[in-house]
Structure 1
Amino acid sequence: MSIDARHVPTDRLNTFVREAGDPASPTLLLVQGNVSSSVFFEELMTDLAGDFHVIAPDFRGYGDSERATIDATRGVADLSDDVAALLDAMGIEGPVDALGWSAGGNVVLQLAIDHPGRVRRLVLEAAGSPYGFGGSTGLDGRPVAADFAGSGGGTANPDFCAALAAGDRGERPTSPRTTLRSFYVRPGFTFDPQLEEKYLDGMLKTSVGDDVYPGDRTSSANWPGVAPGTTGMNNALSPKYLDQSGFADLDRVPPVLWIRGDADQIVSDTSMFDLAQLGKLGVVPGYPGEEVCPTQPMVSQLRAVLKAGGGQVTEIVYAECGHSPHLEHPGRFATDLREFLTR
């Protein structure tokens, strides 16, 4: 089944959206992760279009959507409000099932918190912690430092950002292609060459700068010397601005399917993107030790919030799988998704 790709003007911005399936079928919303776009969902959309009306937008400043500043002081609410505005513009009035991959998991959680009437069920795929990325510890997401050092725009690798901005398609250690191969999927996973180029295209459409990715930064007297700024994606994911523990307090907590890989290096209790974990391993110099700067238990934090909500939660861990279950195990992922959505 074909995928229709177009721009949809909303009252917030001009959003690029991929759409497949019969609009009369139940709507399934697919929300991308960081440094990606809706193109990563095309194969899944084709698989599901016979049963669902599937829509997959690009974030502001990502893919082919309009470039607009992400106000990080709202956490990811700019992005979830963009999604709600898109649903309005497309005339989708009833609740939808929403799937969020990686940082997209935070976006659909925020959609459920701020727009509870919009969400029927949630699928969290390798979703980020409800306390954001970096700078927090413990199951309650308490900050490691008063200024939330270790999170925000300054945590992104500057060489990777430069390669992204330059449209680098090479294979250097910090290139987008190497990052795609080494971290988006489990080590040893091999993409179909045409799909790899398509996904790389999606990554390279990320707008690089203080406004979108990774965002601005401030210096800190606390290790590792950087603290969050106020704009851009990585700051929106800082625990300074993002606290989604309120999901557990909703009057109606939607059923949740949580799928993650056992070899995920990005969202993990020992994440290779957590500067505290890298410091602990000796990769980032000057680490002051676990007592001063403990690592972030991302998976455990999410589990604690989901458990506190008291709703129906199904957690599935895929063996031999990294950060992208829908890419690494597409058949199983589609089957598990269908089973959950048609119960």
Structure 2
Amino acid sequence: MADTSRKIEIRDIPTKRLRMRARVVGSEQDFPVIFVHGNCSSSAFFETLLKTLPQGFQGIAPDMRGFGHTEPKTIDATRGMRDFSDDLAALMEALSLKRAVFVAHSAGAGIVMQFAIEHAEKMAGIVMEAPLSPYGFGGTRDVDGTPCWADFAGSGGGTANPDFVQRLKAKDRGTESQTSPLNVMNAFYVKPPFRHPDEQALLDSVLDTHVSDELYPGGMTKSENWPGIAPGPTGMNNAMAPAFYNTSAFGSLRNGPDVLWIRGADDAIVSDTSLFDFGYLGKLGAVPGWPGDDKYPPQPMVSQTRKVMERYAANGGRYREVVLPDTGHSPHLEKLAEVQALLFPFLQEHTR
């Protein structure tokens, strides 16, 4: 049975790229598990999993650049997720880690897929929870990631709700607006009416996001194509834009590490009907001027991931997709016991 009393140590770890803040449990003699968080969050989102990690495993959850208390160096979005992937490689080098199991949530899974393309030999296994599509977020039309427009309009830094961004920057803890960070977290990070018992600590984590054109959400460029905005060169949302981010090469890896893919059946963020995707919002009538399904359909995010994973399996990799019912974007917060029952045996099976 998992030890529920494991103590988390907060560490600042210097690497050759930047100083990284991390939550750590266990010792250097234990098998390492690296937890990679998603957008507008930090390592704090993994606290319960870290505290309940079975003995024999060292849990390492860094704050990625632009989030939490890691050194806030600029995110070069023109490299896609490579800044983050390179940061993870530098972290492993600083800690003298040869291999690890990776547990990644949302955009963090995009980081880990990029890492796998470059460093599959360092990965003993991958757990992807609500993963970012291999073709990024926004601006693509089919399972093969075909762009809706040549300039990938409808993706990037300009897609973030401006009122949410301003409230995030102001560290707004209120609930009077639908776009307040707490309300957004409770409406979309999880499936309502779920409320996490430590929601104020999670809100602290969200509010630790560094807001700027260089970090979150990043800048934008104007476009003549609907909806009038296209990616800029820096920042998190631009790093996820398909103009710069494409990890479909993950499917071409030969005999890659085993993958456990966990997602919620009612995820409102990463979905074929995402409430953050301009194609789907336009179809709903929430964004005016939508040019129609023939020009800008909803992005089939889950279907895109599945097709890449099927190619991965055809090349000798193994993956398992698990869909948790009545669950939103953050299964490890909403269905902790179910995720532990999936994650912990996977870890035991991949300590080689």
TM-score, normalisation: structure 2: 0.95
Counterpart mapping for 1:91-240 below 5 A: 91-92=96-97, 94-171=98-175, 172-192=177-197, 195-240=198-243
- Could you tell me which runs of 5 or more consecutive residues in structure 1 were left unpaired when the two chains were aligned: none
Aligned length: 340
Is the contact between residue 54 and residue 344 of structure 2 (CA under 8 Å) also seen in structure 1?
no
Is the contact between residue 211 and residue 231 of structure 1 (CA under 8 Å) also seen in structure 2?
yes
| Offset at residue 341 of structure 1 (A) | 2.0
| Offset at residue 174 of structure 1 (A) | 0.2
Quote the residue 2:301 is aligned against.
298
Counterpart mapping for 1:1-343 below 5 A: 1-92=6-97, 94-171=98-175, 172-192=177-197, 195-310=198-313, 311-343=317-349
Please give the root-mean-square deviation of Cα atoms over the aligned residues, in Å: 0.9
| Offset at residue 251 of structure 1 (A) | 2.8
- Secondary structure, in 3 states, of the residue corresponding to 2:261? strand
Alpha-carbon distance in 2 for matches of 1:91, 1:254: 20
- Secondary structure, in 3 states, of the residue corresponding to 1:278? helix
Alpha-carbon distance in 2 for matches of 1:190, 1:201: 15
Alpha-carbon distance in 2 for matches of 1:278, 1:137: 14
Runs (4+) of structure 1 exceeding 3 A deviation are: none
Alpha-carbon distance in 2 for matches of 1:251, 1:321: 33
Is the contact between residue 132 and residue 243 of structure 1 (CA under 8 Å) also seen in structure 2?
yes
Cα shift readout 1:250-301 (whole Å, capped 9, x = no counterpart) = 2332110000001100000000000111111011111111111111000000
- Secondary structure, in 3 states, of the residue corresponding to 1:337? helix
- Secondary structure, in 3 states, of the residue corresponding to 1:128? coil
Give the counterpart letter for 1:166 in structure 2: A
Give the counterpart letter for 1:206 in structure 2: T
Give the counterpart letter for 2:133 in structure 1: S
Alpha-carbon distance in 1 for matches of 2:56, 2:288: 51
- Secondary structure, in 3 states, of the residue corresponding to 2:221? strand
TM-score, normalisation: structure 1: 0.98
Give the counterpart letter for 1:139 in structure 2: V
| Offset at residue 335 of structure 1 (A) | 1.4
Give the counterpart letter for 1:214 in structure 2: P
Give the counterpart letter for 1:256 in structure 2: V
- Secondary structure, in 3 states, of the residue corresponding to 1:41? helix
Is the contact between residue 58 and residue 65 of structure 1 (CA under 8 Å) also seen in structure 2?
yes
| Offset at residue 210 of structure 1 (A) | 0.6
Give the counterpart letter for 2:60 in structure 1: I
Alpha-carbon distance in 2 for matches of 1:10, 1:28: 18
- Secondary structure, in 3 states, of the residue corresponding to 1:43? helix
Is the contact between residue 13 and residue 21 of structure 2 (CA under 8 Å) also seen in structure 1?
yes
Give the fraction of aligned pairs with identical amino acids, expressed as a percent.
Answer: 50
Q: Which moved more, 1:41-50 or 1:314-323?
A: 41-50
Is the contact between residue 76 and residue 233 of structure 2 (CA under 8 Å) also seen in structure 1?
yes
Is the contact between residue 22 and residue 49 of structure 1 (CA under 8 Å) also seen in structure 2?
no
